[in-house]
Every structure is written in C-alpha cells, then in structure tokens.
C-alpha cells in the first residue's frame, strides 16, 4: 500500500476515535446532570443551572426548541394553575422571578390572564437561573410555600409588582397576602418543596428550553417577552382550532 494511502487511513481512524471518545464523554455528562436534576439538593440545583446557563440564555440567534406534542406530561400535580382545567387553551409558563424579561412580561401576561381567564388554563413552572439571578432560587422556594397555603398567585403578584427578592421582602410578601407565618417560615427554611423545583428544571431540560420566560401554548413554544397583540393572535388561533 502506498505511504500516502496508509497516512490517510490512519488519519481517519484517529479522527474517528476522537469523535467516539467525545460522544462517550458527552453522553456521560448528560446522564449525570439528568440524574442530579431529579435527585439533587438545593446546592446541586445551583450547580446544574449554572452548567446549563448557556442553554437557558435569552439569545434568539439559535434554533428554537421544538414544539411539544404531549405537553400534558409537563403538568405536575404540584404546579400552580389558574383558570379552567378543561379549557381549550393551556399555557405552561416557565418563569424566573428575578429575570428582567419575566418582569417586563408580567403586566402584559397579567392582562392576558384577566382577559382570557374563562377560556384558558395557565400552569406555572419555576425555572430559577441561579448563575444569572442569585435570588431566583429563594423566590422560587418561597413561592412553593405560598402555594402550600393556596396563595401562590397572590405571592406571584407581590413578587413581580415589587421586584425585590431579598429574604425580608419575601417574608413581607407572605405577610401581605395573609399566610400563616409560622407555617411559611418552617416551609421556607426547610426548603420543603425543593424537589418540586428540581422537577420543573428537569422538565425544562428535557424539552430543550433555553431561557425565561418561555411559554408553551397548547405545546407551541413561545420564547421571550411578547406583546398583548401577539398573545391575542396566539390564543384566538388556538380557540379557533
């Protein structure tokens, strides 16, 4: 065999070996982080969300995640909901309490909730991106404790209206909406529902979400802050199907 042919043969074998090693390493990391998202503790959540921060970005110059056909599987029993569960339009909202785009979207989305409440169901899912938003996980945990007392949406309004997420503010919101404070304090300090947040993160990773806010409107992925007019078009389109 000519020397040149041998060179190319060994060269392609070398490249193939490198590619195989890369794929094995990638799959190993993917399995590890998937398991940790499901079973890890609060410190693990922070490490994982930091690892995935590049995917959970607000950039719009990447290929968007695919629409989710069987979106009902993303609705967990613990997820706060508002509206009619038998409604023709279901909106699943992945939200970070500290995200400026979520805060920008809040008044428009609140208007959508009020306007279409009789014909939509809204499902809330926590997606705290702790590397960008260090107070997001605390707000998420506090929201789960408000949900325990059936006052999630009141807490949600307080957090997005006031936009302060330090510990004192979170406790003030709990007081303002009339939570039983001893119960809230125990729940919050014990991080009682951190596994719920982990599950929301897992759901986000599994469908390839890359930023907040992200909405699934009957499974159609809608990223970022959108106008009231665009919400009208989306909802009416789905109502007319």
Residue spans of beta strands (DSSP E) within the chain: 81-83, 89-95, 120-126, 214-217, 220-223
Beta strand 120-126 with 89-95 is parallel
What is the Cα–Cα distance from 71 to 174, expressed in whole angstroms?
31
Distance between terminal CA atoms of the chain? 66
- Residue-level pLDDT at 31: 45
- Residue-level pLDDT at 22: 58
171-191 pLDDT, tens digit each: 999 999 999 999 999 999 999
115-156 pLDDT, tens digit each: 999 999 999 999 998 777 889 999 999 999 999 999 999 999
8 A C-beta contact, residue 185 and residue 131? no
Q: Which two tokens stand for residue 163?
A: 């936009």
What is the Cα–Cα distance from 238 to 220, expressed in whole angstroms?
10
- Please check the confidence at residue 61 and state whether its pLDDT lies above 90: no
Neighbouring CB atoms inside 10 A of 157's CB total 15
What is the Cα–Cα distance from 7 to 11, expressed in whole angstroms?
6
What is the Cα–Cα distance from 32 to 136, expressed in whole angstroms?
24
Question: Is pLDDT larger for residue 126 or for residue 18?
Answer: 126
0.85 exceeded by the pTM?
A: no
Cα-only R_g, the chain: 21
- Please check the confidence at residue 206 and state whether its pLDDT lies above 80: yes
8 A C-beta contact, residue 213 and residue 101? yes
- Please check the confidence at residue 40 and state whether its pLDDT lies above 70: no
């Amino acid at each position: 065999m000519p020397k040149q042919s041998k060179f190319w043969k060994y060269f392609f074998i070398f490249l193939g070996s490198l590619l195989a090693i890369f794929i094995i390493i990638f799959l190993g990391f993917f399995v590890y982080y998937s398991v940790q998202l499901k079973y890890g503790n609060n410190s693990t959540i922070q490490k994982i969300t930091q690892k995935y921060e590049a995917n959970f970005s607000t950039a719009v110059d990447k290929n968007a995640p695919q629409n989710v056909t069987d979106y009902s599987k993303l609705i967990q029993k613990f997820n706060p909901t508002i509206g009619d569960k038998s409604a023709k339009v279901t909106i699943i909202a992945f939200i970070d309490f500290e995200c400026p785009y979520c805060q920008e979207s809040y008044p428009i989305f609140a208007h959508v909730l009020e306007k279409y409440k009789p014909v939509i169901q809204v499902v809330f899912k926590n997606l705290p991106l702790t590397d960008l938003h260090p107070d997001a996980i605390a707000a998420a945990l506090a929201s789960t404790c408000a949900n325990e007392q059936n006052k999630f949406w009141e807490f949600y309004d307080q957090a997005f209206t006031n936009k302060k997420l330090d510990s004192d503010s979170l406790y003030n919101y709990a007081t303002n909406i009339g939570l039983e404070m001893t119960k809230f304090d125990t729940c919050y300090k014990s991080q009682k529902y951190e596994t719920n947040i982990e599950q929301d993160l897992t759901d986000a990773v599994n469908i390839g979400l890359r930023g907040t806010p992200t909405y699934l409107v009957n499974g159609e992925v809608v990223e970022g802050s959108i106008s009231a007019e665009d919400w009208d078009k989306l909802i009416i389109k789905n109502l007319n199907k």
